[in-house]
Structure 1
């Protein structure tokens, strides 16, 4: 009741009265009162199942009408994770403006999972495994994690083994580092000097020589090209399945809306360009030598 009242900008009692009016009009109860709580009864569940799709169609129609009502001055509202915005999208925005000077992008940076319709967004760039209820999603890219450091740190470590990283200041998540070391043949527990809730900040710290980071390959590609970071090893680490991919997410009703269609096509083109231009790694560190088999003589 409280959540409904907040969403509809009504008082709690006004919502209760409207439910009472609806039940009176129908001639039967939709809810069961259990102390201070109410829950749908069987009739309420049946009615909800029947009208839910119709209400969703109405919402989609309103969303589409609002999106197309701006006429010639088209504006697309996009919510995106800060790290994706900082490390990948912003450096490519000039090409978007050259391609679509008539479509303005209103960018909202947030770590939170926004409700597109409630919060007034046309689309979102999200990280996950897909399948958000009520939304269409298109996978943009999958990207492994690679080890990067500043050029000064790379010069100091040149020619050493990846085992040397165990004694270096590490940035990021300890579990990811433990997995990376394990896949490289080292069984140890890492103790990073700093962790971050935003990958962009972590990579910025690595660029400033504050430590060594495990970063998404696509997020470090520009910094590798520009000489701000150096990839220390060819070894890559697959991210957790729940965060494996990056998606463009949008309401199905907006699929063919011109500004969104333009954004979809442009993003896929940019991802394709990135994959073709990804710089090849020139390893700074050597892999750990596997143990030699015991002699049988």
Structure 2
């Protein structure tokens, strides 16, 4: 085994990892910017050096066998550790701030993360965050990200995840809309312009004791845009409680009802996600600690506000 390890062709391991994920040599060649024959040759060299095959050929697909699956676990961990080492070495050699690449959903970035970035910089001026906004679930290792903020159930394959918070849906509108509807209850919303998903609105009305088939005036692929539309008085929105917390505090939105709609299980929670090999990397540890502190501060603020104003009502304009 020692002889095998000392002569293991390390340059073939990234190709092996990519081929294991894509299960296709041609697709691997495209992603790695190699020729098809070069990919096939590198995998052949690796198998020859090890003395056993790693893939089963099934037509145009290649699938890891048990030996390949065992090797992949170690290869992914080892390559991730090398990435961490390179990051640390580069920071030491250049003396520049360390950089953490984070991919995050646009609505989360706009409504929650950006308003708190000044506190991050004050706490960690030596760690630069490189933020990538996308609706797509990115492959962290393939696309070069250290961590992600994701919405879902958790349990992403090959990644560690830490739950940040759960967030029910609440009904919000602009202050002008709220003043006009004050005291009307759920029935007053039936004929109002609604924003967002019709099924969620139907469920919200059902839990309020009303049978309604809603037809929202606009739907959005991004919750941040929907909340902007609500702030501008274009309609009433069902928004995640944590995403509207700042707007409620600043008076940009008003919560119209204490009734909350529990989100479905697939989208109920928000997580910090990262490769297990980066768990002890100092910049990631700093991000984890800061995020949890920010969540605790938000929850404490919301609890205090609820005690002061049990029923959120729009402020009345003072008489001139």
TM-score normalised per structure 1: 0.88
CA RMSD of aligned residues (A): 2.0
1:63 to 57, 67, 83: 83
Q: Once the 2 structures are TM-superposed, how far is the Cα of residue 55 of structure 1 from its aligned partner?
A: 1.0
2:311 to 282, 289, 292: 282
Check the 8 A contact 1:170/1:211 in 2, yes or no: yes
Structure 1 segments of 4 or more deviating over 3 A?
Answer: 16-34
Give runs of aligned pairs for residues 29-178 of structure 1, distance below 5 A.
30-32=55-57, 34=59, 37-40=60-63, 45-69=65-89, 70-71=91-92, 72=95, 73-178=97-202
Task: Name 2:257's counterpart in structure 1.
Answer: 233
Whole-angstrom distance in 1 between the partners of 2:188 and 2:67: 64
Query: Gapped runs of 5+ residues in structure 1?
Result: 286-297
Question: What is the CA deviation profile of residues 81-104 of structure 1, one whole-angstrom value per residue up to 9, with x for unaligned ones?
Answer: 111111111111111111111111
Does the C-alpha gap of structure 1 residues 52 and 283 become closer, same or farther in structure 2, counting only changes over 3 Å? same
Does the C-alpha gap of structure 1 residues 152 and 15 become closer, same or farther in structure 2, counting only changes over 3 Å? same
SS in 2 for 1:167: coil
Comparing 60-69 and 268-277, the one that deviates more: 60-69
Query: Gapped runs of 5+ residues in structure 2?
Result: 1-24, 315-320
Check the 8 A contact 1:63/1:117 in 2, yes or no: no
Task: Name 1:244's counterpart in structure 2.
Answer: 268
Instruction: State the aligned residue count.
Output: 280
Q: Once the 2 structures are TM-superposed, how far is the Cα of residue 21 of structure 1 from its aligned partner?
A: 5.2
Which structure dedicates a bigger proportion of its chain to helix? 2
Question: What is the CA deviation profile of residues 176-195 of structure 1, one whole-angstrom value per residue up to 9, with x for unaligned ones?
Answer: 10110111111111110100
Quick one: higher RCO (CA 8 Å, sep 6+), 1 or 2?
Answer: 1
Whole-angstrom distance in 2 between the partners of 1:29 and 1:263: 37
Q: Once the 2 structures are TM-superposed, how far is the Cα of residue 4 of structure 1 from its aligned partner?
A: 1.0
